[in-house]
Amino acid sequence: MRMSRLLSQTLREAPSDAEIASHQLLIRAGYIKQLAAGIFTAMPLAKRSLTKIENIMRDEMNKIDGQEMSMPVVHPAEIWQATGRWGKVGPEMGRFQDRNGREMVLAMTHEEAVVDIIKDEIQSYRQLPMMIYHIQTKWRDDPRPRAGLIRVREFTMKDSYSLDRDWAGLDLQYANHYQAYFNIFARCKLPVIAVESDVGMMGGNMAHEYMYLTPVGEDTLLICDECGYSANRQIAELQKEKAGEEKQKKLKKVATPDAKTIVGLAEYLKIPEHKTAKAVFMMAAIQDQEGDKEKLVFAIVRGDMDLNETKLLNAVGAKALRPAEESEIAASGAVPGYASPVGLKNIMVVVDDLIPESTNLVAGANEEGFHFMNVNYGRDFVADVVADIVAARDGDACSKCGSPMKALRGVEVGNIFKLGTWYSEAVGATFQDSDGKEKPVVMGSYGIGSGRLLASVAEEYNDKYGLMMPITIAPYEVHLVELVGGKGDSEKVHLAAEKLYQDLIQEGVEVLFDDRDESPGVKFNDADLIGIPLRLTVGHRALQEGGIEIKIRHESEKKVIPLDKVVEIVTEIIQDLYAGVEDNLDTVEFK
């Protein structure tokens, strides 16, 4: 491709709203262009990289017997209503009516479309196991799109779906995907780790997320270097240190003026924070037969710990949570800042599982300026739900081995789920097993977003000059720069560059040819910004020496190589770059 014809312009400065390196550089290098908030056009450079990423995905899916298909972006609402997710998913789902007034959905995932197919296509155990996949556009109306392609509203994903006759088959396909995903990321040269995660709206009984560790990530991960435990903070467990045993003391009310926070309360009463009970009020959207209803939830954790909203959401079976307003808290009889479950009625109380084992806590008295001392679970109040609802933090003890855990930031670049039979049972997607009985298909779901993967690679591989794209997903393998004008024989330079361009193409090398009428400085800056792995420069000085200049993007060294050896040397370097990626493919133990 000649840059004089390329539909792309580089920018000297990034837009003011581009906060992270990948967002800034992908826009400046002309890879992407924003159309609206969270909606981007993949320009020709990005499209070539995305196609390479998607072909790597195809290759790895085909290796584990995947069959590629293509399912629609637009779904009738009935298939989502059949699984129950029509009411469980909030405003992030794109809903609309067609011209006949029929409710429709813009797909954010394709489990419903899959079970609608297999309920007719899968009839016998002889058809199983099976794995299907597609690469398709999705829509998720994220309220806070940010960071370029990291968090968008319209995106492309590879989703695959495993279909099995039993859980043993699902276990095998899940393990196959676990390895295949590591292969995909390794071939894109993106370092990732796999962590246990919340199943969320997908359902099922197990999930893993593939995380690219970076300070710009929105997810917090808890990692134990000692035993290898890793989990998203949403579900991460910790060893909870119990307070020393003591006899229950008599409940008494004490004045605690202006002590509305745990810190202030502990300082005023001269007690450690773990002797207090922290009250958190949330409004939970809970679905029943009459539709969605908001219910006030009073969550209690020990004062030295923090509430984990995802764990609370799962504990109460809510579809969404939001902080309660003071007026909503007051309507329950509780007093903000001095709230306690003692004496309250008609409110859902959820306590962390450490609270029943913690004696003589200090909790609010539901009266301005007063707290109760010596509050004890079972005697003074009881809960509707007792569960692990605290958030793990940096330095907390690992639930597996007790060693201190590290909290790290990461970007989720892929996920895998053991769905089980939830979807298939909901719509009657069954098969006749060898014993003659009808059984539901056992399913797994697996996804990777190609745009987010590209952005993460751009975040990982860049310097102050621009991108440094890995050979496997760079839009081109070689950036050929022609330097004409000024002193020297411009016609000779032009003819040499044109011949080299054609020779490389003939050899099957992917070449971006900068044939523009621009200064050397502009051309070199653009080459560094775009970040193609290998740069060849045809100029008067090098030609006088009988060669052309060659430079690998991630190295500082430049050298002149003989003109008659250029194609041979370039193809060898390209092969070595590809081999370097393949050499990093490792078998990863499934945990």
Claim to verify: residue 438 and residue 486 sit in the same structural domain: no
pLDDT of amino acid 513: 97
* 538 phi/psi in degrees, rounded to 5: -105, 110
Indicate if the pLDDT at residue 289 is higher than 80: no
pLDDT of amino acid 88: 82
CATH number at residue 334: 3.90.960.10
Last residue of a domain, one of 357, 387, 417: 387
Indicate if the pLDDT at residue 171 is higher than 70: yes
Gap between the Cα atoms of 504 and 197, Å rounded: 47
Claim to verify: residue 290 and residue 365 sit in the same structural domain: yes
Asked whether residue 461 is assigned to any structural domain, the reply reads no
Per-residue pLDDT band at 404 (split at 50, 70, 90): very high
Stretch among 186-195, 267-276, 279-288, 372-381 having the lowest mean pLDDT:
279-288
Claim to verify: residue 203 and residue 57 sit in the same structural domain: yes
What's the chain's average pLDDT?
93
Claim to verify: residue 445 and residue 487 sit in the same structural domain: no
Claim to verify: residue 121 and residue 71 sit in the same structural domain: yes
Q: How many CA atoms lie within 13 A of 108 on its CB side?
A: 19
Residue 555, amino acid: E
The boundaries of the domain holding residue 197 are 46-211+409-452
Claim to verify: residue 158 and residue 188 sit in the same structural domain: yes
Stretch among 53-62, 340-349, 353-362, 464-473 having the lowest mean pLDDT:
340-349
Asked whether residue 524 is assigned to any structural domain, the reply reads yes
Claim to verify: residue 507 and residue 431 sit in the same structural domain: no
Claim to verify: residue 56 and residue 107 sit in the same structural domain: yes
Asked whether residue 467 is assigned to any structural domain, the reply reads no
CATH number at residue 531: 3.40.50.800
Segment 537-562, tens digit of pLDDT: 999 888 988 899 999 999 999 999 99
CATH number at residue 134: 3.30.930.10
Check the CA dihedral 112-117-118-123 and report its sign.
positive
Indicate if the pLDDT at residue 378 is higher than 90: yes
Claim to verify: residue 51 and residue 200 sit in the same structural domain: yes
Indicate if the pLDDT at residue 290 is higher than 80: no
Indicate if the pLDDT at residue 486 is higher than 60: no
Segment 180-201, tens digit of pLDDT: 999 999 999 999 999 988 776 5
Indicate if the pLDDT at residue 204 is higher than 80: no
Gap between the Cα atoms of 300 and 349, Å rounded: 8
Stretch among 155-159, 235-239, 286-290 having the lowest mean pLDDT:
286-290
Asked whether residue 378 is assigned to any structural domain, the reply reads yes
Claim to verify: residue 447 and residue 492 sit in the same structural domain: no
Stretch among 150-164, 392-406, 487-501 having the lowest mean pLDDT:
487-501
Claim to verify: residue 56 and residue 161 sit in the same structural domain: yes
Claim to verify: residue 383 and residue 414 sit in the same structural domain: no
Segment 208-247, tens digit of pLDDT: 999 999 999 989 999 999 998 999 998 899 999 887 778 9
Segment 379-394, tens digit of pLDDT: 999 999 999 999 999 9
Count of structural domains within the chain:
3
Indicate if the pLDDT at residue 470 is higher than 90: yes
Segment 564-584, tens digit of pLDDT: 999 999 999 999 999 999 888
Q: What average pLDDT does this structure show over 70-93? A: 93
Residue 250 contacts by C-beta under 8 Å, 6 or more apart in sequence?
Answer: 374
Contact 62, 55 (CB under 8 A): no
Q: What average pLDDT does this structure show over 322-349? A: 89
Per-residue pLDDT band at 495 (split at 50, 70, 90): very high
Concatenating the DSSP letter of every residue in 147-214 gives TGGGB-SEEEEEEEEEEESSHHHHHHHHHHHHHHHHHHHHHTT---EEEE---GGG-SSEEEEEEEE-
Please return the burial class of 260, using the count of CB atoms within 10 Å of its CB with bins 0-12, 13-18 and 19+.
middle
Asked whether residue 382 is assigned to any structural domain, the reply reads yes
Per-residue pLDDT band at 488 (split at 50, 70, 90): low
Gap between the Cα atoms of 336 and 327, Å rounded: 9
Gap between the Cα atoms of 477 and 479, Å rounded: 7
Q: What average pLDDT does this structure show over 254-269? A: 92
547: β partners: 562
pLDDT of amino acid 19: 85
- pTM confidence score: 0.89
Q: Which two tokens stand for residue 338?
A: 């001095």
